[in-house]
Every structure is written in C-alpha cells, then in structure tokens.
C-alpha cells in the first residue's frame, strides 16, 4: 500500500509498534499510579478519611463513565472513522467541533447539579460509614465533581488523536495525571495538618485532570479545524448521541458494579472500602498494561474493518487480540493468586498501612485475580460490538451483570467478608464475558473459537507451572533473607523473573505464536 493509499486512521508504524508504544506508556502510567497509591497508603492507611475519599471518588467516576470519556469515545470513533473512510473529512471535523460544544455545556450543567445535590445523594453511597465520614464524603465529592466535564473533553480529544493513528500522546497523558497528584500529595504532607491532607489528595486529582487535557490539546494541530457549535441540527451529532445512549448505559453499568462493591464494602467494615480499592489498583496494573493497550490500539482497526464490511478481517483481528490478552493476563492472574500477600506487603505496608491492612488487601486481591482474564478480554469484545454499531448488545449484558453482581454481593459479603465482594466481581466478569463472546461469535458467523480455546489451554498449563515455580522461589528466599525492604525486593523480584522465564519456556515448548508477537512488539521500541 502506498503512502497515499494508507488509511488516515491506521496506526503510524503499524499495529505492532502502536501496541508496543501504547503498552509502554500505559505500563509507565500504571507504575506511576501505583506510586501514587503507595504514597497515599503510607499517608492514610486503610482507616478513617481515606475511606470517605474512596466513596467520594466513586461517584464522580461513575458520572464520568456514564456521560464522559469512555462512552463518548466508543460512540464517536466508529462514526468519525466512517466519515473519514468515505473522504468526508470536513464533515468529520464539524462533528468533533459540535461535540466539544455539547460536552462543555452539557457536562458543565451536570457537574453543577451534582455539586448542589451532593449533601443528599452522597450519603446513599456510604450506608455503613459513621456520620463524620459521610460528611467528609460529601465535601470531597464536591471538590472532585468538576473532573466529569474535564474528562469528557479529554476523552473526545483522545479519540480524535487516536483516530489519526497516534497513540503515544494519549497513553502518556495518564502518566502526567499521576505525577501531578503525587506532587500535590508530596508537597502537602509536610505543611498541611493531618486532618486536611485528604483535601490535598482530592485537589490534586482535579488539577491533574486539567493538566492532562491541556497536555493533549497541542496534538490536535494538523488534524484540521474543529468549528465549535452545539450541533443539535447536525445529523451525525444526533447519530453519535443515539449510539451513545446504549454505550453510556453499557459502560456505565459496568462501572455501577464498582459503586455497588463500594456500598457493600462499607457494610463489611470501616476500612474495607480502602482495602478493596488498594487491591483493585494492583489488579488493574496488568490489565492496564496489556488488555487496555491491545483493545485501544485494535479499536480503530476493527472499526475500519466493520465500516468496510470485512467480516473475515474482523474475525481474525478479534480472535488474535483475544489470544494475545489471554496469553499475557493468565500468568499475571496465576502469579497474583499465589503471591498476593508478599506483593501487597512489598507495595503498601509502610507508614499508616499496617499488617492488618496487608491481610485485608491481599484477601481481596486473591479474589480479584480470579476474574482478571475475563475482565481484560471483555474490553476487546465490547469494542467489537461498538465497531459494528451494535452497542445495545453489551448494554443488555452489562445490565444482567449488574443484577448478578448485586445478588452475589448480597449473598457473599456476610459469609466471606471482604473476599466476598471481589469474588462477586470476578464471577460476574466471567459470566458476562462468556455471554458476550457467544453473542459476538453468532454476529460474525464464527470467531475461530477452537483456536482461541487452544491458546487459552496452553497458556493455562504454562501459567500454573510458572506460578508454582515463582512461589517456591519466593518462599526459599523469604525464609533466607527476611522481611526488610531490600530482602522483599530481591525475593519477589527473583520470583517474578523465575515465573516469567518458566512461562516463556513453556510457551515455546507449546509452540505458541504469541511468543513471536512479543518479539515483534519489543523490536519497534529499540
């Protein structure tokens, strides 16, 4: 294909390079996010105001998922890409400009209403917290509600940049977000009284969100003019809004599960919300590095294939993406299952985060790890439905998922305590993924299911042996070296290295082509 024939939305440098770059920056972002969580854990532990913060952040985050970046991007990209594929670039630009206007006005109004109604709404999300923490939840939520409109604009700008085949800037933006928050916490801790430091955390999130948007804006240069309007008479705008409704419900319902988990966590104990949230952050690390990167990079490609009615191409792309996700997430899941406690201890146990906090968080992490692969793979399958402009399918499945998660939480939080909540999430992730996969297979007339299962079986076999070797390596070194910070880094680092090498050796022995893919992803970065 010549340069002139190259699709504008194709990843620059190819899918392999784009995935590698996106995964690299996403990995850096997750590490930065982990550093943020480590600092917050040392300052706040798992008791007191940090639990109010967790609940307070859940609600703006839920609003964001309902009406901002994820839903908007998923509805916008297929329509924007379709216009570009048809050579109607100016119309695509008018669509983007109109959505900027609508986001600013619409989400600005929603943010204002949320701030004003917080004293009545927020207590509904914290039924088990004492009154003083409920009041703190209200105040912190009011500080963080403006992130909704900022993230809405960020999501649209990111979608435009990604549709042009650039993924590096959007992958780096969350790194900046985390760095700003870390700086806010580090600067505030020595000078701000302990009782007010949680406000610095909330303020840092607001400032970091604004910084992320400002960083991305210059990357719109050269991508055309985007005339601002409300665009209510624009047929394409109405189409995006129509598509956005089920996408909003689908992605929003997925995030409703997190809010449901947080509500039930307050009924377990005062420190359960923070312990579960800390475990969730560790759980997101491999998912963010691998599955989010693969799903994000493949989304414009799948959208183009759908626009061209290239069903065989969609089958190959989605099936290959699923195999890649399973190959990368299964060993991560197995490792977290057998080494949850030493991982949590090394990462978080310092300052106000004590041994009891470690025990609670590790218990939650074990149960989260069960659903890691299913949740990660769902990200790609959902985007395939969005590319086909069939958003009601994942929406309906997500609705069933909310009901299932609610029922499981209610049934499990008492007998299993803190572990019952992430277990509910994992079971829900597994059920909803399998349903989505079957429905997508029916829609595409097949999905190379036998090939996907074959890859999963081989990955599972290799992951089990690798995880056991990693645990044995850690056990020997932990007994020999003790629990100092340096000793923990060595023992866990050796365990990770041993498990990774064992898994790669098993993958080569099983002749898994995903090993070759890793090599292709790494080479463009050199």
Asked whether 429 and 474 are in contact (CB, 8 A), the reply is no
* CA angle at 143 for the pair 138 and 146, rounded to the nearest 5°: 120
Q: What is the C-alpha separation between 471 and 505, in angstroms, rounded?
A: 17
Q: What is the pLDDT of residue 519?
A: 47
Q: What is the C-alpha separation between 300 and 165, in angstroms, rounded?
A: 8
The upper half-sphere exposure of residue 24, i.e. CA atoms within 13 Å in the direction of its Cβ, equals: 16
Burial pattern 89-124, b for ≥16 Cβ within 10 A else e, equals eebbbbbbbbbbbbbeebbeebbeebbeebeeebbe
Q: What is the C-alpha separation between 151 and 212, in angstroms, rounded?
A: 9
Q: What is the pLDDT of residue 91?
A: 77
- Residue 270 DSSP SS3: coil
Chunked in runs of 10, what are the mean pLDDT values of the chain (526 residues)?
39 54 72 87 85 85 62 72 75 81 86 92 85 90 91 84 76 89 91 87 93 90 68 73 71 72 86 88 81 76 83 87 90 93 92 88 94 90 85 85 93 91 94 94 83 85 91 92 88 92 87 63 39
* 74-121 residue pLDDT tens: 677 777 777 777 777 787 778 878 888 888 888 899 889 989 999 998
Q: What is the pLDDT of residue 74?
A: 67
Query: What is the CB neighbour count within 10 angstroms for residue 2?
Result: 5
Q: What is the C-alpha separation between 281 and 62, in angstroms, rounded?
A: 17
């Amino acid at each position: 294909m010549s340069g002139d024939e190259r699709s504008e939305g194709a990843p620059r440098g190819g899918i392999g390079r784009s995935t590698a770059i996106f995964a690299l920056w996403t990995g850096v972002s997750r590490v930065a996010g982990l550093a943020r969580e480590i600092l917050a854990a040392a300052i706040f532990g798992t008791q007191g105001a940090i639990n109010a913060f967790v609940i307070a952040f859940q609600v703006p985050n839920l609003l964001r998922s309902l009406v901002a970046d994820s839903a908007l991007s998923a509805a916008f990209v297929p329509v924007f890409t379709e216009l570009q594929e048809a050579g109607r670039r100016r119309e695509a630009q008018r669509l983007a400009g109109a959505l900027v206007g609508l986001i600013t006005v619409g989400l600005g109004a929603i943010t204002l209403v949320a701030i004003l109604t917080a004293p009545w709404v927020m207590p509904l999300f914290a039924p088990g917290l004492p009154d003083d923490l409920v009041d703190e939840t209200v105040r912190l939520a009011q500080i963080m509600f403006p992130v909704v409109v900022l993230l809405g604009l960020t999501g649209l700008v990111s979608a435009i940049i990604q549709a042009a085949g650039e993924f590096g800037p959007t992958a780096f933006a969350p790194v900046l977000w985390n760095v700003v928050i870390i700086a806010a916490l580090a600067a505030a801790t020595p000078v701000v009284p302990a009782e007010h430091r949680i406000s610095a955390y909330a303020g840092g999130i607001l400032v970091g969100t604004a910084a992320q948007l400002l960083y991305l804006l210059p990357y719109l240069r050269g991508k055309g003019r985007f005339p601002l309007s409300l665009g209510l008479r624009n047929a394409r705008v109405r189409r995006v809004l129509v598509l956005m409704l089920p996408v909003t419900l689908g992605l929003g319902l997925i995030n409703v599960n997190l809010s449901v988990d947080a509500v039930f966590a307050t009924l377990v104990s005062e420190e359960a919300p923070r312990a579960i949230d800390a475990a969730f952050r560790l759980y997101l690390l491999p998912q963010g590095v691998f599955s989010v990167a693969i799903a994000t990079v493949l989304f414009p490609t799948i959208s183009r294939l759908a626009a061209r009615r290239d069903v065989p191409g969609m089958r190959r792309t989605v099936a290959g993406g699923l195999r890649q996700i399973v190959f990368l997430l299964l060993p991560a899941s197995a490792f977290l299952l057998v080494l949850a406690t030493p991982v949590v201890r090394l990462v978080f146990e310092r300052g106000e985060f004590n041994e009891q906090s470690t025990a609670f968080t590790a218990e939650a992490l074990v149960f989260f790890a069960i659903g890691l692969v299913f949740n990660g793979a769902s990200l790609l399958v959902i985007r395939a439905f969005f590319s086909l402009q069939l958003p009601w399918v994942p929406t309906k499945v997500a609705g069933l998922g909310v009901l299932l998660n609610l029922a499981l939480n209610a049934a499990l939080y008492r007998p299993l305590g803190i572990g019952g909540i992430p277990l509910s999430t994992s079971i829900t992730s597994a059920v909803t993924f399998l349903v989505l996969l079957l429905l997508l297979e029916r829609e595409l007339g097949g999905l190379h299911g036998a090939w996907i299962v074959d890859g999963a079986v081989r990955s599972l076999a290799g992951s089990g042996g690798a995880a056991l070797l990693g645990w044995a390596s850690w056990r020997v070194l932990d007994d020999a070296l003790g629990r100092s910070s340096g000793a923990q880094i060595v023992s866990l680092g050796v365990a990770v290295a041993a498990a990774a090498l064992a898994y790669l050796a098993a993958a080569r022995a099983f002749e898994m082509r995903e090993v070759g893919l890793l090599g292709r992803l790494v080479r463009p970065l050199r």
